[in-house]
Amino acid sequence: MEKPKYEFSEDFQAVRITYPSSIQKISLVFYRPSDSKLDQQINLSKLSGDFQIVKTSFLKKGPWKLSIHWVQDNHKYQEEHRINVP
């Protein structure tokens, strides 16, 4: 199984998600530990190509948790990452 990979722009205004073609759907959930009103879920539609760029200008300075959910070969997967926006 190949996992999706993420990479933020230097200013945290966008994230590039790279994924194998076998992924059927993917969603990104941004959790703000100190303020749940800032939480955001982004569902990416049927994927074409091998990457997508998602605007993340809503990310405020401080700690976040990024949860990536995806379906690959009819199995559900999830991976979590901690990020800090400078």
Dihedral sign computed on CA atoms, order 84, 54, 6, 9:
negative
Instruction: Dump pLDDT digits (tens) for 15-58.
Output: 999 988 888 889 999 999 999 999 999 998 766 778 999 999 99
What pLDDT is stored for residue 70 in this prediction?
Answer: 93
d(CA 46, CA 23): 9
Could you tell me the residue ranges of all domains in the chain?
Answer: 5-85
CATH 2.60.40.10, applies to 5-85: yes
